Amino acid sequence: VIFKALNPWKAMDHLIKTKKQGFYQIGSVFLSVTGLEAVYADLGYFGRWPIRFSWFVLVFPAVLLNYLGQGALIILYPTFIDNPFYRSVPHWALTPMLVCSVIAATIASQSIISGSFSLVSQAIAMGFCVPFTVIHTSRSIIGQIYVP
């Protein structure tokens, strides 16, 4: 049953059947994908090969196992639908997992801020956005800025 989740036709069928609720669910999926895209954009200076290698060898299998495991947990324990990720973590590991989650969220938010700055900088340079005053606070680190 879990492997049916990999079939895109099943996703479309679910979206058609669940209507409004399905759109909310697909919104959550898109949100997680855009979060990964932000991290990918932040790692762009590593080059194409290391990013592809790490994605296919480490990240994709880990994310796939995580999501399929959460699906299996929900099938076995339907009451765990409220928070399958943390419900799948053993009780003794909840605090370390929470710390790890906070660190990951902090890193992700920093990449969103950096990506937003790059996007706005390019928009200003191309004349698509009103100019902002940008003060570079470091001579050696170009990304260290202050916008009053």
Residue stretches of the chain with pLDDT short of 70: 1-2, 28, 30-45
Q: CA-based Rg of the chain, rounded to a whole angstrom?
A: 20
**Per-residue confidence (pLDDT) for residue 37, from 0 to 100:** 61
Cβ pair 90, 73 in contact under 8 A: no
Q: What pLDDT, in 10s, does the model give residues 6-34?
A: 788 888 888 888 888 877 777 767 666 66
Cβ pair 97, 89 in contact under 8 A: yes
- Sign of the four-CA dihedral 97, 79, 36, 143: negative
Helices 20-42 and 8-18, interaxial angle, to 10°? Answer: 140
Cβ pair 81, 74 in contact under 8 A: yes
**Per-residue confidence (pLDDT) for residue 132, from 0 to 100:** 83
